[in-house]
Chain A
Amino acid sequence: MKSKRSVILLTIVALLVALAPAAAQDEVTLVVWDNWTRDAEQAMIEQLNAEFEEANPGVTIQREAYDTSDLTDILPLALSESGGPDVAMINQGFTGMGALVEAGLLLPLDDYAAQYGWADRYAEGLHARNRFTEDGATFGEGNLYGVSNTAEVVAAYYWKSDFEELGLSIPQTFAEFEAMLQTIKDADKTPIVFGSLDGWPAIHTWGAIQHAYATLDELDAFMFRREGGTFDTESNLVSAQKMVEWIDAGYFSPGFEGMDYDNQTFGAFLNHNGVMWITGSWMTGSIIEELGEEEIGFFVIPSAIEGAPPLSIGGVGLAYGARATTEHPDLAAAYIDLVTGPRAAELLFEQGFLPAATVDPALLVEGTLTADVVEAWNTISSQNAVGHYLDWTVPDIAANIQELMAGQVSPEGFIQDVESDYQAGGM
């Protein structure tokens, strides 16, 4: 009995030993970390993964999803492990991608970019946001460390019924936009739905005014910390004063200081407790889910500078990058090519996302919110008018804006506070 059992065991072991190397050569597992956590998003990415596995026999995608803040917190450690993700979605800016590059954890993608023609996906000015010098010290130039597949633009959602009732049309100048706010206020409605409890929405609302007065050169120098980069500009001072003026005029939701974003501000807009909402295109899917495509429109806020394009906060979403020590760099690049390419753009668009790559115009339906949002993005990206998220460079600026809004500091004091933070390195 006993000897029989050992024979069987030996045979199995021998078979395994004989088969193992052959199997290992064909079977490859690519570990991917992303932030697609909602049902519709999962369906979209699983579809793409299935298509990738089909096109690359023997490759298995092992996918892990985290929400963005969790992903940002744990990714650095995971990328420094040998078993970490081969491909991961990376947040931009000095504390995100910059720190990872500095620690040598990311793979430069320039060779693959040339091979796959990623330069044509979207404007070079947007690729710059995924660029760092090898030491992680200079943002906006140097190696390419990621490719994005979504885009964002901060602009104004509005209730079409109110515009009709008050005889308003999409403003062509900033002066028109301001006059519109007063018209709405005179009609006893709240012009702009706004809530600043969470901090960051204040960056977008004040930033919308700032982008109307600023030039892209000014903003680029500030964001990428180029020579001459400063917060102490005439345009920043004017927009800080404008913000205070608008608060005094009652253009924002009453009690906005205590309103959070996800429930109270979003709820106030859905309940029609205001005419416009200045926020990012990422809310499009949620708004359509509640109100459909017809009720709400979207437009970019015009520049206050004569003849200038409507510079707006925006950019590309988290970037797909690869781990420096991945054993499958070619495969990782092929995966990045797929999830940021035209097929992904099509699926993203179907899910209500704004793809970074160009959307086929045939897919757009006139008069829908989706079409408005795509048009807004095309307007700013084609005219090189995509602005910046200020907290990439000065992470604490939300607190400064809250102080400005509450009259705790003067506009001049606000400029000085942020400038000294900026000079101290931003943190």
Chain B
Amino acid sequence: MKTRFFSSRLDNPPYIHPYQAYLFILPGLIIYAVFVLWPILNTARYSLYDWTGFSDPVYIGLDNYAELWNDDDFWLALQHNAFFVIFYSILPIMLGLFLTALMTRRTLRGMTLFRTGLFIPQVMSPVVVGIIWRWLFAYDGPINELLLALGLDGWVRPWLGDFTWARYAVGGVGVWVQYGLCMVLFIAGAQSINTDLYDAAAVAGANAWQEFRHVTLPGLRQQILVAFVLTFIAALRVFDLVFVLTRGGGPGKETIVTSLLIYREAFQYNRAGYGAAMALVLTVIIVTVSALVMRLQASEEDAQ
């Protein structure tokens, strides 16, 4: 009846009860539960209280959520997050695809060097990225100098302080940071596409666009979905770049994002309960969208 956990006789593999399998994930599960699940549950609980973070909590039911519903800043921040999805997610994926198409079409000399160079923005600390770009965007900085040199005097502006352009400037930095991840995912995916398909396309006389459209792109569907989930989450939780670039959402409220509001409410204005409610709503949005995309991915796998 009893099964031994380890058997020295490999030709007679021991029967392992399914419950025993849970033992193997237990260490990771405990860490995950203590440092991720428990805090999330606690956040949900805090969101029902009026609590400074160090005072005696007062239970107020769903009042925090009712206040959130009427909080113009919160809706504005969500709109900005949605705007940043274009720059954190959609544009990097398009740029990543373009670079992948270039790099898989023919082997270039020093390919590794290009790939590494193009990936560097992704691995740099966001604070460093922010400081570099703040300098690039400065009124007497390189970008404006370049515009002057090109005779585009009318375009010179204080980019990060401009009510119209600040969000595009912050978004542009987002593209620069995120495309590297997409590119690497796509190049890896492209390498697993059957080369016969490319040969067939060549025989059929396909040009570069047709080859990309009918061979590379369909072969990368899974990778594109993965890249979308990862970059979408990044767009919704963006904090550090905005914190450094526009010092917390300026000019006015043009670049405030949800995570910035959560930080402000919970730690600066001592409203931990309200901040928790905001954090929970953001979590629900992220989980919902990710789940939808995952389902899309799963149904595609079934179809294949």
Contacts and interface: CB of A to CB of B under 8 A. Distances in A.
Interface in B101-138: 134, 137-138
Contacts of A76: 52-54, 270
A399 B248 CA distance: 10
A99 B252 contact: no
A103 B161 contact: no
Contacts of A105: 54
B55 interface: yes
A103 B54 contact: yes
Contacts of A398: 250
B138 A199 contact: no
SS class of chain B's interface: helix, strand, loop or mixed? loop
Interface in A67-115: 72-73, 76-77, 79-80, 95, 99, 102-103, 105
A256 B159 CA distance: 11
Interface string B269-282: 11100000000000
A197 B246 CA distance: 6
B75 interface: no
B15 interface: no
Interface residues of A, number: 32
A395 B268 contact: yes
A400 B162 CA distance: 14
A197 B250 contact: yes
Contacts of B163: 403, 406, 408
Interface in B39-82: 52-56
Nearest to B263: A73
B237 interface: no
Contacts of A259: 138-139, 158, 161
A95 B250 CA distance: 21
Nearest to B73: A396
Given A258-B160, A259-B161, A406-B163, A77 B53 contact: yes
A117 interface: no
A260 B140 CA distance: 12
Interface residues of B, number: 31
Contacts of B189: none
A255 B155 CA distance: 12
B270 A99 contact: yes
A257 B246 contact: no
B252 A406 contact: yes
Contacts of A198: 247
A255 B55 contact: no
Interface in B245-304: 246-253, 265, 267-271
Given A80-B54, A197-B246, A408-B163, A257 B138 contact: no
Nearest to B270: A99
A99 B157 CA distance: 41
Contacts of B157: 255, 258
Contacts of A79: 54
Contacts of B159: 258
Interface string A194-222: 00111100000000000000000000000
Nearest to B169: A258
Given A77-B53, A399-B250, A257 B161 contact: yes
Given A199-B248, A399-B249, A102 B52 contact: yes
Contacts of A400: 252
A399 B72 CA distance: 14
A264 interface: yes
A178 to B, nearest CB: 25
Interface string A241-278: 00000000000001111111000100000000000000
A260 B251 contact: no
B130 to A, nearest CB: 11
Contact of A103 (B55, B160, B252, B265): B55
Interface string A411-427: 00000000000000001
Given A76-B270, A197-B161, A255-B157, A402 B138 contact: no
Given A256-B158, A257-B162, A260-B134, A99 B52 contact: yes
Nearest to A81: B54
Contacts of B248: 199
Interface in B160-205: 160-163
Interface of B: 52-56, 134, 137-140, 157-163, 246-253, 265, 267-271
15 contacts: A76-B52, A76-B54, A79-B54, A95-B270, A102-B55, A103-B52, A103-B55, A197-B158, A197-B250, A255-B140, A258-B161, A259-B139, A260-B247, A402-B250, A403-B163
Interface of A: 72-73, 76-77, 79-80, 95, 99, 102-103, 105, 196-199, 254-260, 264, 395, 398-400, 402-403, 406, 408, 427
Given A102-B52, A255-B157, 17 more contacts: A73-B267, A76-B53, A76-B54, A77-B53, A103-B52, A103-B55, A105-B54, A196-B251, A197-B158, A255-B158, A257-B161, A259-B139, A260-B134, A395-B268, A399-B250, A403-B163, A406-B252
